Structure 1
């Protein structure tokens, strides 16, 4: 905010609230990511889905939603877009035919690989204004905040367990 701008006290208090700043930081984060990945037309949510599915092929739709802290409507919207582009395939789960499992397609794997460099560029751009200590502190504080208030979230965040072959490592 420009230093010369004198705001009414009520606006100054609003603009200093954590919720306002977190929402604004999220808007900026999404814009930086989407700019870096514009050639792939990939959003942060789509990148997240592709990344989780690469680590957990055939993950159920509900587990996928929880792995990203998405509600059911959001995960369905993101999956429909990815499925339309040929990046994911949905089908009945092997464990329970009533459940839907999701997997990356070869095209989804290819686009996720192409997205790695621009996603890293976006991360560096977003964290660029902070020195290393501040970056570590920001991540620590965000993890502390989200961890301590997880039960307040509208959508559960439950990372999937590591695959059996990786748990032993």
Structure 2
């Protein structure tokens, strides 16, 4: 006796899945951001790292990774790219030569200041298809989703507290 095969998922069902839509939204978000920051050559990850470092100069690489929900490899890749451009510098933490503290250079501070207006324009462009109440609702729903499923993440998110900014 042959068991009936389960019905195949339709394309409409696939394209309506939250995971598909979130991945597509991330692709669009990255493209919009990178377009806005093209003159500066910054990615979202680099901008995020620089923003955290401006708020917490001398942060060690592990805490930086957690503050952005990056795995250690991604954090290292981002930092190496920024360091190669002279935007950050890394130095051993006093008393712990195995741990590196990271801070923005003068060029890094200047680049971040230039990038902030472009990043804000990208954020506005990304949310432009939505009415202001929908924009707020989307951000609230995404925060609720990420908070509610944080235990399933591959990289921990540990927001910085006690830092200005």
User: Same fold, TM exceeding 0.5?
Assistant: yes
Q: How far does residue 97 in structure 1 lie from its aligned partner after superposition?
A: 2.4
Q: Give the equivalent residue in structure 2 for 1:59.
A: 59
Deviates more, 1:102-111 or 1:10-19: 10-19
- Find the aligned partners of 1:143 and 1:160 in 2 and give their Cα distance: 16
Give the gaps of 5 or more residues in structure 1. Answer: 1-7
Q: How far does residue 95 in structure 1 lie from its aligned partner after superposition?
A: 4.8
Q: Give the equivalent residue in structure 2 for 1:74.
A: 74
Deviations along 1:11-49, one digit per CA (max 9) or x if unpaired, are 111111111100000000000000000000100000000
The answer to whether 1:14 aligns with 2:14 is: yes
Q: Give the equivalent residue in structure 2 for 1:89.
A: 89
Count the aligned residue pairs.
157
**Structure 1 residues 1-169: aligned runs within 5 Å:** 10-163=10-163, 166=164
TM-score normalized by structure 2? 0.92
TM-score normalized by structure 1? 0.90
Q: How far does residue 101 in structure 1 lie from its aligned partner after superposition?
A: 0.8
Structure of greater Rg: 2
Q: Structure 1 residues 59, 15: closer, same or farther in 2, change over 3 A? A: same
Name the Cα RMSD after superposition: 1.2
- Find the aligned partners of 1:59 and 1:160 in 2 and give their Cα distance: 10
Q: How far does residue 161 in structure 1 lie from its aligned partner after superposition?
A: 1.7
Where does structure 1 differ by over 6 angstroms across 4 or more consecutive aligned residues? none
